Amino acid sequence: AAISPAASVQLSSLGDEDSLSATTGEIALWLERQGMLGTRNRILDIGCGIGRLEHALGAMAGRIVGIDISPRMI
Protein backbone atom coordinates (compact mmCIF):
# COMPACT_ATOMS: atom_id res chain seq x y z
CA ALA A 1 0.00 0.00 0.00
CA ALA A 2 2.88 2.37 0.76
CA ILE A 3 4.75 1.70 -2.48
CA SER A 4 1.92 1.44 -5.02
CA PRO A 5 -1.76 1.84 -4.13
CA ALA A 6 -2.82 0.25 -7.42
CA ALA A 7 -0.50 -2.75 -7.15
CA SER A 8 -1.47 -3.30 -3.53
CA VAL A 9 -5.04 -3.94 -4.67
CA GLN A 10 -3.98 -6.90 -6.77
CA LEU A 11 -0.30 -7.68 -7.10
CA SER A 12 -0.73 -9.58 -10.37
CA SER A 13 -1.90 -6.37 -12.06
CA LEU A 14 1.49 -4.73 -11.43
CA GLY A 15 -0.37 -1.46 -10.98
CA ASP A 16 -2.10 -1.54 -14.38
CA GLU A 17 -5.53 0.04 -13.98
CA ASP A 18 -6.92 -1.68 -17.10
CA SER A 19 -5.94 -5.09 -15.72
CA LEU A 20 -7.51 -4.26 -12.37
CA SER A 21 -10.76 -3.15 -14.00
CA ALA A 22 -10.91 -6.20 -16.27
CA THR A 23 -10.33 -8.58 -13.36
CA THR A 24 -12.97 -6.85 -11.24
CA GLY A 25 -15.44 -7.18 -14.11
CA GLU A 26 -14.62 -10.87 -14.54
CA ILE A 27 -15.20 -11.53 -10.85
CA ALA A 28 -18.53 -9.68 -10.90
CA LEU A 29 -19.66 -11.64 -13.96
CA TRP A 30 -18.64 -14.95 -12.40
CA LEU A 31 -20.52 -14.14 -9.18
CA GLU A 32 -23.58 -13.23 -11.23
CA ARG A 33 -23.41 -16.49 -13.23
CA GLN A 34 -23.15 -18.47 -9.99
CA GLY A 35 -26.36 -16.85 -8.73
CA MET A 36 -24.53 -15.16 -5.86
CA LEU A 37 -25.76 -11.66 -6.58
CA GLY A 38 -29.14 -10.15 -5.86
CA THR A 39 -30.69 -7.76 -3.38
CA ARG A 40 -31.41 -10.64 -0.98
CA ASN A 41 -27.84 -11.92 -0.99
CA ARG A 42 -24.98 -11.01 1.36
CA ILE A 43 -21.30 -11.05 0.46
CA LEU A 44 -18.28 -11.23 2.77
CA ASP A 45 -14.98 -10.20 1.17
CA ILE A 46 -12.01 -11.34 3.24
CA GLY A 47 -8.95 -9.32 2.28
CA CYS A 48 -11.01 -6.55 0.69
CA GLY A 49 -8.17 -4.07 0.33
CA ILE A 50 -9.52 -0.66 -0.63
CA GLY A 51 -12.98 -2.01 -1.45
CA ARG A 52 -12.69 -2.17 -5.22
CA LEU A 53 -14.96 -5.22 -5.47
CA GLU A 54 -17.41 -3.81 -2.94
CA HIS A 55 -17.72 -0.69 -5.04
CA ALA A 56 -18.32 -2.70 -8.22
CA LEU A 57 -20.96 -4.94 -6.62
CA GLY A 58 -22.66 -2.32 -4.46
CA ALA A 59 -25.93 -2.20 -6.38
CA MET A 60 -25.98 -5.95 -7.09
CA ALA A 61 -26.10 -7.31 -3.54
CA GLY A 62 -28.23 -6.77 -0.48
CA ARG A 63 -25.22 -6.28 1.76
CA ILE A 64 -21.46 -6.42 1.32
CA VAL A 65 -19.00 -6.55 4.20
CA GLY A 66 -15.29 -6.23 3.55
CA ILE A 67 -12.54 -6.94 6.07
CA ASP A 68 -8.79 -6.57 5.74
CA ILE A 69 -5.83 -7.10 8.04
CA SER A 70 -4.12 -3.92 6.82
CA PRO A 71 -5.39 -0.69 8.38
CA ARG A 72 -3.77 1.21 5.48
CA MET A 73 -6.06 -0.51 3.00
CA ILE A 74 -9.34 0.02 4.83
Average pLDDT over residues 24-53: 91
pTM, two decimal places: 0.69
Q: Classify residue 57 by burial, with Cβ atoms within 10 Å: 0-12, 13-18, 19+.
A: buried
* Element at 6 (helix H, strand E): helix 5-9
- Weakest-pLDDT range from 8-12, 22-26, 28-32: 8-12
Q: Provide the pLDDT for residue 17.
A: 76
Report the DSSP beta bridge partners of residue 42.
63
